[in-house]
Structure formats: C-alpha cells, structure tokens
C-alpha cells in the first residue's frame, strides 16, 4: 500500500534538504522541479506548450528552453505567473500521478511516497495527498538563505511576497517541520514526522469497523 505525502514550503525553506532526509529514511521521493526540467526538454509536452505560447524568443541558440528568458517573460507579473502555472501544472500533476501509480504497481511491500513541490497547495495538492507536510522557517532565515543562493535581498523578498503567505500555508499542514535552527534539529523533526507517517500508513491499511 502507498501513503502519499506532499512536502511543501516557501522558497529557501529547506524542502530539498528535508526531502533528502526522508529518502535516507526509506521514503520514495519525487521532485516536482525535476519533473518540470524534464517536461521542458525538446519534444516533451511542456516544451511544446511553452514555445506555442511564448514563441521561440525563449529558446537558446541550440533550441533548449532558456529558463532565465522564460522567467523574464512569464514571471514578470502575478498574472503572467498564473498563466505559466496554468500551462505547466496539469502536466506536472499528470506525471506525478504516473510515477506514484508505477510505484504502487511495482512496490514490494508498503511505501511512503513524498512529493516535493513549492506550489503543491496552490495547485490543489490538499486533495491529492493523504498528508501535507510543510517545511517552515522564520522569514529572516529564509531571506538569508535565498541571498546565499545568489539572489539580492530585494529579489528574495519579492519572490517570498508572491508566494502563499506563511500563515496560510501552515493552516494546510498535517505536519510541520521547523528548519530554522540547527540541521540536527531539522533531522530530528523529520524523523518524528516519518514515524507519524508510518503510523498513518498502518492506520490506512486497517479496515474501518
């Protein structure tokens, strides 16, 4: 049996780090960003949708999607971002479902599948998963991490402002992992959530009486 868990959080919240911790604990992990990268490859549905919508100006000289050019065109305003998401999210969700179904058919025993996605809640993820896990961090740490990745402080603050507000995201959470402090604390919190997910999986297997 499969337990589907969605893992989300704001930019630079520590989602990928937590996803790797879940993988080390034995969970199957699916990264929505990797799916997007695959969909953007020439010949794939995402590539075709983008070129059809935005034209060849978003391509590199060798015909690949130039992510920076695409961002300049498709993420300039909130309206533009919603248009891009409407194009790509259905394709990502379809591929996630395919991967989960394949895991369910081939898995030897029970599995916890963790899908990591920034816009998981915004794209209707609450209805697609048994549990929602939110990786949370304090705003100043979030900005500092984004700056360390190469953004300016202004860019980081604008990106954060355009995402779902922290308080609203937390309201959707079945479990919260605070990644603000030491890595050891985040790891301990991840282990606690993993143990809870195992209990959830066991309960899912138990027929209702």
Domain that holds residue 52: 2-205
The pLDDT value recorded for residue 182 is 93
Cα–Cα distance measured from residue 120 to residue 88, given in angstroms and rounded to the nearest whole number: 13
The pLDDT value recorded for residue 208 is 59
The pLDDT value recorded for residue 207 is 65
Low-confidence ranges of the chain (pLDDT < 70): 107, 207-209
Measure Cα distances from 198 to 2, 27, 108, 189, 207 in Å.
11, 10, 16, 14, 16
Per residue in 65-82, pLDDT tens? 998 899 888 888 888 888
| CATH code of the domain in which 130 resides | 3.40.50.300
Per residue in 46-56, pLDDT tens? 999 999 999 99
The pLDDT value recorded for residue 71 is 86
What global pTM score does this model have? 0.89
Nearest to 120 by CA among 132, 105, 111: 132
The pLDDT value recorded for residue 124 is 86
Cα–Cα distance measured from residue 153 to residue 160, given in angstroms and rounded to the nearest whole number: 11
Q: Domain tally for the chain?
A: 1
3-state secondary structure 154-203: HHHHHHHHHCCCHHHHHHCCCEEEECCCCHHHHHHHHHHHHHHHHHHHHH
């Amino acid at each position: 049996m499969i337990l589907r868990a969605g893992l989300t959080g704001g930019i630079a919240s520590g989602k990928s780090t937590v996803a790797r911790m879940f993988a080390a604990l034995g969970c199957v992990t699916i990264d929505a960003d990797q799916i997007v990268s695959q969909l953007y490859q020439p010949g794939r549905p995402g590539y075709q949708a983008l070129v059809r919508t935005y034209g060849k100006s978003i391509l590199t000289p060798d015909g690949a999607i130039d992510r920076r050019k695409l961002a300049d065109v498709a993420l300039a305003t909130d309206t533009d971002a919603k248009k891009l998401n409407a194009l790509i999210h259905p394709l990502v969700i379809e591929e996630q479902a395919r991967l989960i179904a394949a895991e369910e058919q081939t898995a030897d025993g029970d599995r916890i599948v963790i899908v990591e996605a920034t816009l998981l809640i915004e794209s209707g993820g609450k209805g697609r998963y048994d549990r929602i896990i939110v990786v949370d961090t304090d705003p100043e740490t979030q900005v500092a991490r984004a700056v360390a990745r190469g953004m300016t402080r202004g860019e980081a603050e604008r990106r954060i402002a355009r995402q779902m507000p922290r308080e609203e995201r937390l309201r959707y959470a079945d479990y919260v992992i605070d990644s603000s402090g030491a890595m050891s604390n985040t790891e301990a919190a991840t282990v606690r959530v993993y143990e809870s997910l195992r209990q959830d999986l066991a309960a899912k297997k138990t027929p209702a009486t």
